Every structure is written in structure tokens, then in C-alpha cells.
Amino acid sequence: MKNKLLHFSILIPCLFVVVDTFSQSKKYFAVTGEQYGSVNWITFRQFDMDGRQPVKTVYVPEAQNDVAYDAATGSKLVAANTDNTKAAGPAALTQQQPCGCLNNRMVAAVAYDAANNRLFYTQMMGNQLRYLDLNETQPRSYAVTSQSFKNFSNQPGEASVVTRMVIGADGYGYGLTNDNEHLIRFTTGNQPKITDLGRLADATSNGENSVAVQYKSWGGDMVADASGNLYLFTIQRLVYKINPGTRLATYLGTIKNMPEDYTINAAMVESDATVIVGSSTKTSNYYRINLTTLEAAMVDKKTEQVYNVSDFANENLAFSKLNATAKTLTVNNISAYPNPSTTNKFNISFSNMKSGKYIILLNSIAGKAVLRKEIKVSGNQTENIMVSPVTAGTYLLSVIDQKGETVYTNQVVLSK
């Protein structure tokens, strides 16, 4: 069983493919082995979707003597190949988790933060959130030392390994453990803050396709859409839509027209409704997935051999074109005012809304829950929101319907 689970974390050689018709950014990143065929996933590289730009090696830990720097101060933290190795921060940050890894530097989860031009990641056996600053001529690895990326005990095997990571439309980064017990959110500023949101919850419609089913819902990767949702692609080709505000995971279906022995280990958004996925055990090709129909089609390949990868990362969001219309409709139906508010009060106005139960959530930018209120809406109405005394600043407001869908999101500024 251990060897079977190892497939969730590393990718056996896969082929680079050239993707046609791409309406968003063509730049993407991957963690690869040192050379073709290697499964020692420690080398970070940058690729171009259409293959017109040469592959660029971004970072190799061994070449940098495994040095990491404090994200807050910039000071050197670790020199793993020297006799005077030192690590800063809580002891939990340096604890190693046993798994089927070739070495403790291997990485299976990366996310690209386009706003700051940083590539976030976490090592499979470690417990630090790190990022590469791609603004530097020679990118260095920066580690968050104020908090552990995982503030919980590791479960046996690979259950607690973070193999999925993405930057959401709300600007937060999200990581997910294999067993889906911990959805971890982090900010992407100069001093990232980490919050364990907790386990994913099943939508009532999931039935036997529970996101909690061991192994079947493990592994894979996550992508995000422009409306604030996350999409989990599991190793066994299941797809779930996740609302990060409620952690509700809705089973969308199983990918069609894909061989049963084709496992999914990496995913990235190609364009509005399509995602490109790759396998850890098949070198035949990548597949293009239509997020609306879940139909898979083999992507034409233009090369026979490329670097194998453990994960993909790019800045594209699914349904970004369609969301332009959705945002307009949302603004017409729901609005928050006054904004900014000079008190701890504001109003949420609903017009022409579908009758039902809704949840109002207010979180700080750092991810701390400030308010959660369940209401019943019927047509047109206004809800008066009173917030306990809070620090002046910007807060994220979300309204979620009874299906767990985010129907409104906005930033609210509270000042004094």
C-alpha cells in the first residue's frame, strides 16, 4: 500500500505538450527532477505553454547549498550542507514527516502568486511554508518562521502530506492535505499568515462519493475559478467544487473518456472552462478537461521527452470571462453600504434574490473569522450588520447560499 500511495506525491515521467488556443497567461511552473526521468522532485522550472520560450531553471536547492532565508527579516536560516546548521522559529517547523520520499527536499505542492511574483511551496516531509522570490535575479527560498504550515500531528503514511496548493481569486493561498482533513489558508504578503480552516465537509448530494473516502479522494491537485471557488482533482479522476468559506465540497462527477489506469497528479487552468492535467504513472500524454462537462480529450504532443513534474502552478483562473457577467448580476442583487463605514455597522441590501437561507461571513484579511450570521431572504430586504469592536482595516465579506455557493464577495473597510 505504501508504494501505491507514493504515486500521489510524485509523478513518473510525463510528456510536455503544446497547448493550442490559450487566452490567458501561457507561463507556468513545475517542480521536476534534476534530469529527464528523475523522480527526485527538487528542481523548479518555468515553462511556456506554446513551447516558444526555452525552459528556464528557476531554482535548484543543491546549487544554493539548501539555504533558506527568513521571510520577515531576510536573514539566513538554514545551511543544510554545513556543520553549523541552524533553524529559526517554532520547533514544529523543523519536524520531519515520514513518507515515501527520496529526500527531505522533495516538493509536491506549488502555487504561483502573480501579484507578488512569488512561487509558494511546502516540502513533502517538512512543515514550513516557503516561497521563491522570482523578482530576484537568482531567486532564493524564503521560509515563514512565525507559524507552522501544519499545526496538527501528522497521521500515519501520507495522509497529512500537502500535495495540493493554489492561489484563489480572493488572493489567499490554499493548501490541502491528502486526507482532506485540513484546508490551510495563507496570506501572500511580506509576512504571510497561516490559518487551518479545518476539514472539508460533504455536500448532501455526494452520497458514496464522499470527499472523506480514503485514497480515492487523495492526491491530485487544485485549481481556482474567478468566483472564489476551488476545484479538487483527485488521483482517481474525481472532481469536487470547494467553497473555501464553508469548506463544503460538492462532487461534480468523474472525468470521462480517460483510461481507468490514468491517475491525475497535477492540474492547471488553460483557459476559462478547461484544465490541463497530468499523470504520475502514464507518459502517453496530458489531458484537457472541460470543467462544465468533465469530458477529457488528449492534448496533442509536440515533443517526445520533457522533464517529469510533481506539480503545476500558474496564475490562470477558470471561468474568468464568464465571471464578468456573473459579477455584474451579483452587484445588482447584493450590495454592502456604507463602505467605508466609520462605525462597526453596515447594511447588506438584497434585491430580486431567490428565497432561501443565506450565510453572511466576515473575515479579516489575515483569515480570522469576525462574524458569521445565518439569515432568511425572500425577495427584497436589507440586513443590518453589527460587528463587535474590531481593529480598523479591510475585511472580506461573503454571502453564501444554501447550496454552499458564494453568491457575493466584496471588501469592506471599517474605519474609526
Q: Which CATH number fits domain 2-319: 3.30.830.10, 3.40.50.360, 3.30.1300.30, 2.120.10.30?
A: 2.120.10.30
Domain boundaries, the chain: 2-319, 323-414
∠ Cα 276 223 111 (to 5°): 100
Report percent pLDDT > 70 for the chain.
Answer: 82
Distance CA 359, CA 246 (A): 9
Enter the C-alpha cell of residue 136: 530576484
Give the tens place of pLDDT for each residue, 27-57: 999 888 888 777 888 889 998 877 778 789 9
DSSP state of 153: P
Q: Which CATH number fits domain 323-414: 3.40.50.150, 2.60.40.2550, 2.10.10.90, 3.40.50.1950?
A: 2.60.40.2550
Whether 323-414 and 2-319 are alike in CATH topology: the answer is no
> Is the pLDDT reported for residue 84 higher than 80?
no
- Is the pTM higher than 0.75? no
pLDDT confidence bin for 147, thresholds 50/70/90? very high
Q: What is the pLDDT of residue 10?
A: 34
Q: What is the pLDDT of residue 215?
A: 82
Contact 37, 308 (CB under 8 A): yes
Give the tens place of pLDDT for each residue, 258-301: 988 888 888 999 988 999 887 776 667 888 999 999 999 988 76
pLDDT confidence bin for 1, thresholds 50/70/90? very low
Q: Across residues 74-102, what is the average pLDDT?
A: 57
Of 372, 71, 69, 361, nearest in space to 193 by CA: 71
Mean pLDDT, rounded, of the chain: 81
Distance CA 379, CA 354 (A): 6
> Is the pLDDT reported for residue 174 higher than 90?
yes
Distance CA 374, CA 366 (A): 23
> Is the pLDDT reported for residue 21 higher than 70?
no
Q: What is the pLDDT of residue 150?
A: 93
pLDDT confidence bin for 416, thresholds 50/70/90? low
Contact 316, 276 (CB under 8 A): no
> Is the pLDDT reported for residue 143 higher than 80?
yes
